[in-house]
Every structure is written in structure tokens, then in C-alpha cells.
Structure 1
Amino acid sequence: MPILLIAIILGIVEGVTEFLPVSSTGHLILATELLGFDADKWAAFNVIIQLGAILAIVVLYWRTFWAVLEGMFKGQAISWRFVRNILIGFLPSAILGFLLINKIELLLGNAMVVAVAFIVGGIAILVIERMVKETPIVGVAEMPLGTVIGVGIVQCLAMIPGVSRSGATIMGGLSLGVERRTAAEFSFFLAIPTMVGATTLELVKHRDTLMAGASGIGFSAVAVGFVVSFVVAVVVVKAFVHYISRHGFGPFAWYRIIVGTVALAWLAMR
């Protein structure tokens, strides 16, 4: 299969799954297994194209970011609280990710771990949905510091491939008293420093390989995957926010359980 076609397929998978509570990394790993790609060969590509999906958040919420920037220059407390919450929520995963990066990379090629995490994560979403009631915390800037730290710690679970960063942070937010839309948007915003950091590490580690186009995966393939993931993510995020404002996360939980079960059976029979 041509390299650019693979890049397009993985870009679509990334754009669709990055902000849904279904695990983009898990889907990318399963896609490489299902289509017979070399997982190690595409590992850096899979991380880097996530930046395309992150750019979608910047574009969709540019008015929010612009208002926060203006507010910071004007000394508005709400704008500074917004930035504080994003940065503090990001810190736990940044510290733990830096300390455990080699162990995390070993898990990225393990499709069996992904399948199990899909099932466990789906069950967790169903349980949390039943337990959590409507709560009063509305707005990222209004989230208490303790809640922000709690969500940041929960985000660290997403270092296990298949857990879902967005799923962990959204469910963590709901469990700690954050309203649905705010929990989702905090997850979106938290993804920006998290994924920029992860992408930067991958670019530094694999820059020579990418520049040389080793194994046929060079910057042209990365650029294609980046653009595709950006365009698809723009569409998906708008639809997702509209959906969860009116409905629950149950369908995503059942999707995880079904896909995880099928993947587990397929991997066991290979």
C-alpha cells in the first residue's frame, strides 16, 4: 500500500478519535495491526500528526483564546485563572511522561494492551455515567484548583495506550463535579500543551529519520497526515460538543467495549 495512502488513513483515524473518549492512540495502534503496517515504523508519525488535531481546537476556539489573551493584558482575574488551570492540569502528565517515556514507548506497540484498555475504559464510562449527577461547575476558569489537579492526575492514565486521554479527563472532570460541556472543553484545551510536548519530544528524537525519509516515511507523509487529521478533527469536535450537550457518553462506552472485545478475540486467534 502506498505510503501517502497509509498517511491519509491514519490521519482520518486520528482526526476522528483524538477528542472522542475512544482513544486515538489505541485506534492508530490497532489500525497498524489490522492493515499489516510496521507499528514501530509508524510510531513517531502517529504521535506527530496528533498536532494536526490539536490545531483544530485552536481554530475552533480562537475567540476564546483571543479573549483570554486580551484579558491577561488587562489584568482580568478570570483570564489568568483560565491559563493557570490549563498549565496546572498539564503538569502531572508532563512530569510523569518525562520520567517514564521509555516505558511508555514500549507499550505503544502492544495491541493486546489496547484491546483490554478499550474494554475496561468502556465499563468505567458506563459506571461513571450512572453515578455522576448534574453539577454546578461551569466554565474552565471557574474550576477549583483541587479539581484541576485531580483531572491532571487522572490524565496520566492515558499513558497506557487505549485508555483515551480525552475519556480520562472528561470522566475525571465529571466525577469531580464539572458540568459536561465544561469537562469536554477543558479536555480539549488540556490537549494543547500535552500533545505539543509529546510531539516536540518525538520530533527531537526522530528528526534525523524523518528528514532522511527512512523507511519511506518522511516529512511529506507527515504533512499529509497532519492536514487530514486537522480537517477531520474540525468536523468531529463540532459534532461531538453538540451531541454531548444533549446526550450522554454511553454510545462511546459501548463502542469501546465492542471494539475491544473484537480486537481481543482477533489478536488471540492470529
Structure 2
Amino acid sequence: MSTLHAIIIAIIEGLTEFLPISSTGHMAIASAIMGVHGDFSKLFEIVIQLGAILSVVVLYWRKFFDFKKISFYIKLVIAVIPSLAFGAAFKSHIDEMLEKPMIIALILLLGGVVLLFVDKWFQKPATDKEEDITNKKAFIVGCYQVLSVLFPGLSRSAATIIGGMQQNLSRRLAAEFSFFLAVPTMLAATVKSLWDMYQEQPEVLNTDNMSTLLLGCGIAFVVALLAIKFFIGFLQKYGFRLFGWYRIIVGLVLLILFYFKVIG
């Protein structure tokens, strides 16, 4: 992976991490188009997601460092358990799916169709404060996150926000809880990926590659810091429909390109 490839993928990650369009899917497609392959590229795409996610900690630092409200941390732990369990159990399945960008393109398209109708399905939210999210609701949102773990391209953000809205959370609160949940999720995924790489191929974690990881995390963090503010405002005002059409168009274009072997 060249420095230019790393920068491009990191920008894509920062722009898409909090949007319901699948950052994992976009990075996998971009890597396929640029011909970026290998174990380090897979590790890079996981680790830089943590860089983007850390923007949430900065923007919501009062929430994350308010140690008087233990219930907030309990909810995050409860919500993250399903995806950690399924992620560990189906790691080989997930890795295999990420090697098939055509399947990711199809999931992007189908997920877009779902987003066209989400706003009509959940029109009367009853919960608009984080304190009112029960442990049960948090767990159910965590179960929705499992779908994005099992089907790369679905979008962790879309799955958890829809899960929150299905539990009667407002768009804003569902989006914010999705962001909060991303922190322990991606922290765990990053630590496990780095540890597995250290155990299996320690030579990959050389000085040059570690510098590339830090560069990618830094770029993803800065870009995501700008994108997250935009998304909250846009979601409250316009909902999911535009993101749905975007996913459908991108999915169709990619499937056509794959069909005619323009990209492989």
C-alpha cells in the first residue's frame, strides 16, 4: 500500500464512517479499484475506523468522561456484546465477504432500498434523551449492529440507527447512540486485529507500516470530525431518503462495472 493509497482510503473512511452508506463497503470497493490487496491493507481498513470513531469522543467528551453516570457505560457494554460475540464467531466469514466486492455492491444497493422507507416506518419517536434508553433497548440496538458485522456493506451506522428508531428513539438520539456504540466496538476490533497480526505475522507491524497506520488514523479522524456534524444536522432535517438513493445508484454502477469487467 502506497502513501497515496493510504491517504485516499483514510479520506473515504472519514467521510463515510458516520453516514449510513457503509465505510467498510466503500473502502473495500476503493481498494479493489486501486488494486490494493494483502493482509496489511485489511488491517489498515480496520484500524483507521478507530481513528474516525475517536472524533466522537472529542465532540461528546462531556458525555464520555462523565463518570458519575455509570449507566451510560453499562448501556454501551450491553450493546457491544452481541457484535463482539458474532464477530469472533464469524471472523472467517467476514474476511471472505470482504474479498467479494460484487457482494458488497449488492448489499449497498439493497440497503439503499430499505433506507427509502425508513422515515415512513418510524414517524413517532417517544425517546429523545439518552437517560431514557433502557438496557433492553441498548441490547436490541446492539443486535441490529450484528447485521452489519455479518454483512459488510450494510453499514454499521445504518443498522444501529434503524435499530434505535425501531426502539422509538428520535433520529438525533438514535444517531448519537450509534456513534457512542461505535467507540467500544471499533476499539475491540482494532485491538483484536493488531493482536492477531502480531501473533501471526509480526513482520507486518514494521516501522513503515505503523507510520502508515498512524497517518491513516489521523486523516480519518480529522475528516470524520467535519462529517459527523454535517450528518446530524442533515439527518434531522432530511432523513434517510437521499442516502438511500445514493446507495442504490452506487450499487447499480458498481454491479454494471463488475458485470462488464471494467473493474474486478
* TM-score, length of structure 2 as denominator length: 0.93
Q: What is the correspondence of 1:57-206 to structure 2 with a 5 Å cutoff?
A: 57-66=56-65, 68-69=66-67, 71=68, 79-159=69-149, 160-206=151-197
- CA-based RMSD of the aligned residues comes to 1.5
Q: Partners in 2 of 1:168 and 1:42 — Cα distance?
A: 25
State whether residues 48 and 217 of structure 2, in contact with CA within 8 Å, keep that contact through their aligned partners in structure 1: yes
User: 1:211: how far off?
Assistant: 2.3
State whether residues 15 and 223 of structure 2, in contact with CA within 8 Å, keep that contact through their aligned partners in structure 1: yes
Relative distance call for 1:242 and 1:209 in structure 2 (3 A) is farther
Could you say what secondary structure the match of 1:124 adopts?
A: helix
User: 1:39: how far off?
Assistant: 5.6
Q: Partners in 2 of 1:254 and 1:192 — Cα distance?
A: 28
* TM-score, length of structure 1 as denominator length: 0.91
Number of residue pairs aligned between Structure 1 and Structure 2 = 257
Identity of aligned residues (%): 38
Decide which of 238, 253, 262 is 1:262's aligned counterpart. Answer: 253
- State the Cα deviation string for residues 156-191 of structure 1 (Å, max 9, x = none): 011111000000000111122110100000000000
State whether residues 118 and 240 of structure 2, in contact with CA within 8 Å, keep that contact through their aligned partners in structure 1: no
Could you say what secondary structure the match of 2:205 adopts?
A: helix
Instruction: Give the aligned partner of residue 228 of structure 1.
Output: 219
Decide which of 185, 205, 213 is 1:211's aligned counterpart. Answer: 205
User: 1:41: how far off?
Assistant: 4.6
Q: Partners in 2 of 1:222 and 1:138 — Cα distance?
A: 37
Unmatched runs of 5 consecutive residues or more in structure 2:
none
Instruction: Give the aligned partner of residue 5 of structure 1.
Output: 4
Relative distance call for 1:39 and 1:118 in structure 2 (3 A) is farther
User: 1:224: how far off?
Assistant: 1.0
User: 1:141: how far off?
Assistant: 2.5
Amino acid at match of 2:140: G
Q: Partners in 1 of 2:16 and 2:176 — Cα distance?
A: 15
Q: Partners in 1 of 2:57 and 2:233 — Cα distance?
A: 18
User: 1:107: how far off?
Assistant: 1.2
- State the Cα deviation string for residues 18-68 of structure 1 (Å, max 9, x = none): 1110001000000011222226551111001111101111111112222x2
- State the Cα deviation string for residues 75-122 of structure 1 (Å, max 9, x = none): xxxx22222211111111011111111221111111011101101111
Unmatched runs of 5 consecutive residues or more in structure 1:
72-78
Pairing 1:19–2:18 present:
yes
Q: Partners in 1 of 2:39 and 2:249 — Cα distance?
A: 26
Could you say what secondary structure the match of 2:13 adopts?
A: helix
Q: Partners in 2 of 1:37 and 1:48 — Cα distance?
A: 16
Return structure 1 stretches of 4+ with deviation > 2 angstroms: 209-213
Q: Partners in 2 of 1:247 and 1:80 — Cα distance?
A: 34
